[in-house]
Copies of this chain bind each other. A is one copy, B any other.
Amino acid sequence: MSSWQSSVADKRKRQQESIPKEWTVPVPANDVSNVIRFPEQSGVMSSKELQITNEVDVQELLQKLASGQWSAVEVTTAFYKRAILAQQVTNCLTEIFVERALKRASELDVHLRETGTVVGPLHGLPVSLKDQLCIEGLESTIGYVSLIDKYAKKNSVLADILLEAGAVPFVKTNIPQTLMWGETFNNVFGRTTNPYNRSLTCGGSSGGEGALVALKGSPLGVGSDVGGSIRIPAAFCGVYGMRPSYHRVPYEGALNTLEGQDSIPSVFGPFSNSLSGIKMFMKSVIDLKPWRKDPLAIRKPWDEEAYKLSEHGEGKRLCFGIMRHDGNIMPHPPILRGLKMMKDALVNAGHTVIDWQPINHKEMNDTVTAIWGSAAREDFRVTTLATQEPIIATMLPPESETFSEMVVDPRYPEDGMTSFQLWQLHKRKIELRKEYLDHWEKTNLETGTGRPVDAVIAPVGPYVAPPHGRNRPSGYTRVYNLLDYPVIVLPVSQVDQELDAKAPPHEYLNDADMEFHEWYDPAMFRDAPIALQLIGRTLEEEALIAMAEIVDAALKA
């Protein structure tokens, strides 16, 4: 065993030891693919614990915590148990620190009992954190062997602000090595699977959050997104997720890969089983003025008028653009069905829906990839040099036959590029943003509202969660990282073997489109969730959340 492998063995042993024995049970055999109901069937959780963890409305949960109806210790224990059960079937966690979380919960209970007041708007709420977020005294390996045994000297600013808000950070969650994959596998913790179908990926890079929240092992999770890393796992696992605009949520003091890549910054954002969780996260964090602690955080208070849709006709009659495909890859039948469900629901609710024409999506994707690639390889090399940990070249399982044409991920050039070359990409990037802005503004002639389209609805990718190793870089998400548009992922439905039968060939957009079409087989995607993106304008988080609430209500009606 090499030195890096023994580090990993030790880390895994310590992780195993951090799990209370009484919360472990025999797990379903590997060939049981759908484990979404496992926590409820495990027998580990009391009926009250099930009641607590099944409360998906975070504002409701917070109210019960604030009134003392449920104590922070009760709530933390319930979610912790369920998180550990999630871990046993999907391997979604990294750091586990039960004692520390329960101590924090207990202190909050004492505070409430003694003062009659809550510590903050998230009083007593357990919050799961993507492994990048540091908590003093804990490791943040972000899936790199070289970071094992490095203990954080202080909290990330976002962790600090969540604590200030009264939250209880209770687990950290799994990611892929380098963070630059849309799946979740690394040499330290291994692979996270999709709880709806364990032969499928949970997505990535915030895949641990996706799996954990889907299993209701956390009421509110924090992930990050530089190219789709919140939206892909949220969609693949069927939960709500939000990618805010750059610098609306503080990143200061968190670990990251490609550090210094400021052209298209990674952002933190929430995962939850309800939009109430998304809203509570955003409002609580912004209300605590992150610009006091993060020099890049935008000084822009929560705008309640914007949330009331003051610039969108008070939300009475909205006009949505629906993008059926991005001009490159036609989505599979479940996604197209999701788009149709969405359209019908919105029209039924009295809103207008028009077609959204994508422009420059391919070039935007290529630009994002080139910017990352300007120094990605050197970044990976520097991080892995000391331990000689191998850099992972594919997310395919070792036992898998290699679909070489399906894992063509050109990734990044060996030698990067010069600053001057990078500047030319920046120049083009801004032009692309300007072209898309003008394109959006001009829709005011078609909406009938006098306004440009209020929000755009689009697939999160051309398929629902695919088998491990087969999620190609998704052009459907990273364009919005370049454009810096806030996006909320909304779960819509699940793959249905009859409704989502293979479609006849269409007029293919290109060879890859044909390949994707032929690849589809509903059996391969059994039970996978269907979700869509709702896309707003830069720094319009408040309005986007309000519109997501309208869309969500229409879908559920």
Contact = CB atoms under 8 A, between A and B. Distances in A.
B437 A295 contact: yes
Contacts of A263: 262
Contact of A419 (B294, B418, B483): B418
Contact of A300 (B293, B300, B420): B300
20 contacts: A253-B434, A258-B423, A259-B426, A260-B422, A260-B424, A262-B426, A291-B537, A291-B538, A292-B437, A295-B437, A295-B483, A298-B300, A299-B300, A299-B540, A374-B419, A374-B420, A375-B422, A416-B418, A416-B419, A419-B419
A263 B419 CA distance: 11
Interface in A386-438: 416-427, 430, 433-434, 436-437
Contacts of A160: none
B418 A375 contact: yes
A301 to B, nearest CB: 8
Given A260-B424, A300-B539, 11 more contacts: A252-B430, A260-B423, A261-B426, A262-B423, A293-B441, A295-B484, A295-B538, A296-B433, A298-B539, A416-B419, A422-B422
Interface in A259-293: 259-263, 291-293
Nearest to A373: B419
A89 B480 CA distance: 52
B296 A441 contact: no
Interface in A153-210: none
A378 interface: yes
B261 A423 contact: yes
A10 interface: no
A263 B424 CA distance: 13
A378 B540 contact: no
Nearest to A441: B292
Contacts of A57: none
Given A258-B423, A292-B441, A539 B375 contact: no
B426 A416 contact: no
Interface residues of A, number: 45
Contacts of A261: 423, 426
A21 to B, nearest CB: 42
Contacts of A423: 258-262, 375, 379
A427 B259 contact: yes
B299 A538 contact: yes
B299 A427 contact: no
B425 A420 contact: no
A426 B260 contact: yes
Interface in A235-267: 252-253, 258-263
Contacts of A540: 299
From A298, A433, A483, A540, residue with most partner B Cβ within 10 Å: A298
A425 B422 CA distance: 14
Nearest to A484: B295
A540 B423 CA distance: 29
A433 B295 contact: yes
B418 A252 contact: no
B375 A419 contact: yes
Contacts of A434: 252-253, 294-295
Contacts of A375: 418-420, 422-423
Interface string A289-319: 0011111101110000000000000000000
A296 B419 CA distance: 21
Contacts of A374: 419-420
A330 to B, nearest CB: 28
Given A299-B537, A537-B299, A293 B437 contact: yes
Nearest to A426: B260
10 closest Cβ pairs, A-B complex: A260-B423, A295-B433, A374-B419, A375-B420, A260-B426, A299-B539, A260-B427, A375-B419, A378-B420, A295-B437
A295 to B, nearest CB: 4
Contacts of A427: 259-260
A441 to B, nearest CB: 6
Contact of A420 (B252, B294, B296, B416): B416
